[in-house]
A = this chain, B = another copy of it.
Amino acid sequence: MRLATVRLHGDPTTRRVVADHGAGWTLLDTALSSVSELLRHPDWQGQASGPRVDEQDIIAFENPVQDPEKVICCGLNYRNHILEMGRELPEFPTLFAKFADTLTGPTSAISPPAAAALDWEAELAVVIGAELFQASSEQAKDGIAGYTVSNDISMRDWQRRTLQWFQGKAHDATTPVGPVVVTADAMDPAQGLRITCAVNGEIVQDSTTDQLVFDCPALVAYVSHFTRLRPGDLILTGTPGGVGMGMEPPQFLADGDLVTTAVEGIGALENLIVHQPT
Shortest Cβ distance from A160 into B: residue: B92
Shortest distance between the CB of A66 and any CB in chain B (Å): 13
| Chain B residues within 8 Å of A97, by CB | 96-99, 166, 170
- CB distance B114 to A99 under 8 Å? no
| Chain B residues within 8 Å of A164, by CB | 75, 94-96, 164-166
- CB distance B161 to A226 under 8 Å? no
- CB distance A92 to B172 under 8 Å? no
Residues of chain A in range 129-187 having any CB-CB distance to chain B below 8 Å: 133-134, 155, 158, 161-167, 170-172
| Alpha-carbon distance between A166 and B163 when the two chains are bound, in angstroms | 12
Cβ of A54 within 8 Å of any chain B Cβ, yes or no, is no
Interface size class of chain A, counting residues whose CB lies under 8 Å from the partner chain: 35 or more
- CB distance A96 to B96 under 8 Å? yes
Taken together, the copies of this chain in the complex come to 2
Cβ of A9 within 8 Å of any chain B Cβ, yes or no, is no
- CB distance B70 to A99 under 8 Å? yes
- CB distance B96 to A166 under 8 Å? yes
| Alpha-carbon distance between A98 and B225 when the two chains are bound, in angstroms | 15
| Chain B residues within 8 Å of A170, by CB | 97, 226-227
| Chain B residues within 8 Å of A265, by CB | none
Cβ of A113 within 8 Å of any chain B Cβ, yes or no, is yes
| Chain B residues within 8 Å of A70, by CB | 99, 101
- CB distance B95 to A162 under 8 Å? yes
Given A226-B171, A227-B172, decide whether A166 and B134 contact each other with a Cβ distance below 8 A. no
15 contacts between A and B (CB under 8 A): A70-B99, A90-B162, A92-B161, A92-B167, A94-B162, A94-B164, A95-B162, A95-B166, A101-B228, A113-B134, A114-B226, A115-B226, A133-B172, A172-B226, A172-B227
A interface list, Cβ under 8 A from B: 69-70, 75, 90-102, 112-115, 133-134, 155, 158, 161-167, 170-172, 225-228
